[in-house]
Amino acid sequence: MSSNLAVKLRSGTQQAHTAAENVGFMKCFLKGVVDKDCFAKFLGNLYFVYSELEAAIATHVNHPVIGAVYFPELNRQASLEKDMVFYYGKEWKAQITPSTTAQTYIAHIQELAATEPALLLGHAYTRYMGDLSGGQMLQKIAQSALKFSGYEGTNFYNFEQIPDKKAFKDKYRQALDALAIDDTTADKIVAEANNAFYLNMQMVQELEESLIKAIGQVLFNSLTRSPNSGSTEVAKAQ
């Protein structure tokens, strides 16, 4: 029995995916305009979200759905910790706090972990598949825009344990399709994947005020005027 979950997730999140790329912060990012302080805050929020998500997944590794699609080589917490040291120094933990939306996101992950852990898969899918796809392009843009050498400040996007990203994504999708779940559960996982997109969008939107202060309203307006058709979707399909 195939759940066809990978196909359902892909088709069921396309609109949210395009919407995420049309958030002003991301439109600026995709055009090569990245402010270092805003990017550090962006990664700081992700540190809190991934720490919570990965702890929740590890707790439920014996769950039939979570365990079947558990790949610890995806974990981002340690990579994000390296980035926090780069931006904030050794005392970084005292300097960062999750934003309001990040707190909402964390509380939602905690709620799912306590009530319907299978639905954590929707969040894992949205985050990790995005990081392995469009995220690789975002890393190159950040490295270039901020004139970073090597992976400094962008360790988050560096999957050292996954040298062949296309082969891994194929394996991940096969694991999704092999899940023995009913249509109701599959639909709920897709709904959570969309929820993950919108929570991520809200986290990014919170940073726009800081970005506008850094680059100016005129430049921000000119970079965000026209809609994106979904440029990282090409990367995601590969």
Domain holding 76: CATH number? 1.20.910.10
Task: Output the CA torsion 79→197→190→159 (10° steps).
Answer: -20
Residue with tokens 């799912």: 112
- 230 pLDDT band, cuts 50/70/90, is low
Residue 13 within a domain:
no
225 annotated to bind ligand: no
Task: Output the CA torsion 140→145→150→153 (10° steps).
Answer: -100
Residue 215 within a domain:
yes
Residue 17 within a domain:
no
- 228 pLDDT band, cuts 50/70/90, is confident
Count: domains in the chain: 1
Question: Within a 10 A sphere around the Cβ of 38, how many other Cβ atoms?
Answer: 22
- 233 pLDDT band, cuts 50/70/90, is very low
Residue 19 within a domain:
no
HSE-CB of 178 using CA atoms within 13 angstroms: 11
Residue 3 within a domain:
no
Residue with tokens 């009530």: 115
17 annotated to bind ligand: yes
Residue 142 within a domain:
yes
Residue 59 within a domain:
yes
Q: Rounded to whole angstroms, how far apart are CA atoms 236 and 169? A: 10
Mind listing the pLDDT tens digit for each residue in 156-179?
999 999 999 999 999 999 999 999
Radius of gyration of the chain (CA): 17
182, pLDDT greater than 80: yes
Mean pLDDT of the chain: 94
Contact 102, 203 (CB under 8 A): yes
Mind listing the pLDDT tens digit for each residue in 17-37?
999 999 999 999 999 999 999
Nearest Cα to Cα of residue 27 among 207, 226, 169, 181: 226
Residue 131 within a domain:
yes
- 238 pLDDT band, cuts 50/70/90, is very low
Q: Rounded to whole angstroms, how far apart are CA atoms 176 and 69? A: 7
108 annotated to bind ligand: no
- pTM score, whole prediction: 0.93
49: its two tokens: 């979200």
Domain with 103, as residue range(s), is: 32-225
